[in-house]
Amino acid sequence: MKSVVIKLYPESAKILRHNRQYIPGGIVSVNRTADPEICFVRGDGPYIWDVEGNRYIDYHFAFAPHFLGHNDPYVSEAVRDVIKSKVSLFGSGPSRLEGELAELFCRYVKTADSVQFVNTGSEATSQAIRLARAVTGRDHIIVVQGSYNGWHNDVSCNLMTPLSTLGPRLSPGEYGYASISAGVPLAHRSLVHIVNFNDLESVRYVCEKYPIAALITEPILQNIGVVKPQPEYLEGLRALADALGFVLIFDEVKTGFRHALGGYAEICGVRPDVATYGKAIANGYPIAAVAGKKELMDWFVHPEPAKRVLLAGTYNAHPVPTAAAIATITRLAMNDGEVYRHVERLGEKMEGGLAKIFRSFGLQAVVARQGSAFCIYFMGHCPTDWHDLATNHNFADDNSFRQALVRRGIYFFPLAAKQCSICFAHNDEDVETTLQLISEALSEVFDELSNQPQRNLREAASD
Ligand SMILES: Cc1ncc(COP(=O)(O)O)c(C=O)c1O
């Protein structure tokens, strides 16, 4: 099958030009800036359509919330029902829906004694860190290089930091706060300590130097692809938190509900003190959660006002996303894990198919995968931390490959090292078509059967 190659996006360009008159940059989240800039207008299951009428098999899913697929019928019906029911956002007293969602959440997320709902992952991580500071009476925190935890001052740093800024690997040691935003006060930066993933020695080193309230990390780094914890790493963090008295926060905004109903904590068997959730919890509707051990969560309603952690929000547990979350969790729990079995099977098929293609091309490339989440790295092994990835992955080839795929109607977000997601609505044919088009795209980027010399692209990591 030879695909149609999409080349031009004139209508998208027109919309962007229009938007730029009123919105700085023309797009409401800077993270959505992409090359090519395409305006999408419709999503159904695993497919999205752009304004020019081109259809794509989606693997981006808006940075991963649509785990069931776009506009999943079960979730959409729950949303229609709640709107029809005339339940509104009352903003006074408890709501039945929030209680129903909380009960469902705690039934499946076994590591959570209780839960609070907010609107976004950034709100959730901000609340989790504030809670940790209140409980420990300490101000300093540890953030992991390559873990994205939101846009607020504590964590808007050290994602894909160029190694020229970061410097060589330090272990034990810490890296400087490399802000991904202007406007973070210097005083605030001094409270944030950066260590690499999979590096317990540096956690211990930092804890010996500063009073650490919390360590926050994605349990799998899924904002730089799929970088998995090494055996004993998460257990080691748990042991250090217990020994040194800091709060262990798992940021499960990307891993939660995607890898298991109980999040990655259920899979790895390590219980964080507090965890944050978002994205797949409501299949694309805006709701997020902070959950954890009762003795910490109760600080949100501490009887002493001076110790009470303020958790408030006009839109918290708005009925529309709350109904969507109830429907999503209910759907995920149906038929004894049918959703998880399906995406694991397709994930395996994708991984196996890719390995075959890489062999046939004689290409130095690997697939890192956890269930439905995967990433292709143009290097000889799966990376274990940002230094490893930034040193060895071929970012320029990855960008070219992704753009060649987009031109063929396969939507991998066109930015190197970004994670791809399989959803429940994908089927075998989608994966087969994708593999075929990946072969074509690789042929365009690489000479078949001749492994191009891997360029050293340290600087490209700043893309
Ligand atoms: C792991 C993780 N934590 C937190 C966030 C922030 O969530 P939000 O964009 O909903 O504020 C993200 C967003 O991509 C994320 O991937």
Q: Ligand 1, atom 16: nearest CA belongs to which residue?
A: 254
Cβ–Cβ under 8 Å, residues 262 and 252: no
Determine the atom of ligand 1 nearest the C-alpha atom of 252.
1
Q: How far is the CA of 278 from the centre of ligand 1 (A)?
A: 7
- Pocket flag, ligand 1, residue 219 (CB < 6 Å): no
- Pocket flag, ligand 1, residue 125 (CB < 6 Å): yes
- Pocket flag, ligand 1, residue 419 (CB < 6 Å): no
Cis peptide before 94 (omega within 30 of 0): no
- Pocket flag, ligand 1, residue 121 (CB < 6 Å): yes
Q: Which residue has the tokens 């080193």?
A: 205
Q: How far is the CA of 73 from the centre of ligand 1 (A)?
A: 25
Tokens of 252: 């499960």
pLDDT of 7: 65
Counting Cα atoms < 13 Å in the Cβ hemisphere of 78 gives: 21
Residue 286 sits at the vertex; the CA angle it makes with 283 and 102, to the nearest 5 degrees, is 80
- pLDDT tens, residue order, the chain (463 aa): 456 677 689 999 999 999 999 999 999 999 999 999 999 999 999 999 999 999 999 999 999 999 999 999 999 999 999 999 999 999 999 999 999 999 999 999 999 999 999 999 999 999 999 999 999 999 999 999 999 999 999 999 999 999 999 999 999 999 999 999 999 999 999 999 999 999 999 999 999 999 999 999 999 999 999 999 999 999 999 999 999 999 999 999 999 999 999 999 999 999 999 999 999 999 999 999 999 999 999 999 999 999 999 999 999 999 999 999 999 999 999 999 999 999 999 999 999 999 999 999 999 999 999 999 999 999 999 999 999 999 999 999 999 999 999 999 999 999 999 999 999 999 999 999 999 999 999 999 986 545 554 433 333 333 3
pLDDT of 387: 98
Phi-psi region of 445 (alpha: psi -120 to 50; beta: other; left: phi over 0): alpha
In whole angstroms, what is the distance from residue 28 CA to residue 45 CA?
24
pTM for the whole structure:
0.95
Q: How far is the CA of 436 from the centre of ligand 1 (A)?
A: 32
pLDDT of 449: 47
- Pocket flag, ligand 1, residue 263 (CB < 6 Å): no
- Pocket flag, ligand 1, residue 150 (CB < 6 Å): yes
In whole angstroms, what is the distance from residue 266 CA to residue 12 CA?
42
Tell me how long the chain is. 463
In whole angstroms, what is the distance from residue 299 CA to residue 293 CA?
11
pLDDT of 4: 62
Q: Ligand 1, atom 7: nearest CA belongs to which residue?
A: 121
Cβ–Cβ under 8 Å, residues 150 and 179: no
Determine the atom of ligand 1 nearest the C-alpha atom of 286.
10
pLDDT of 8: 81
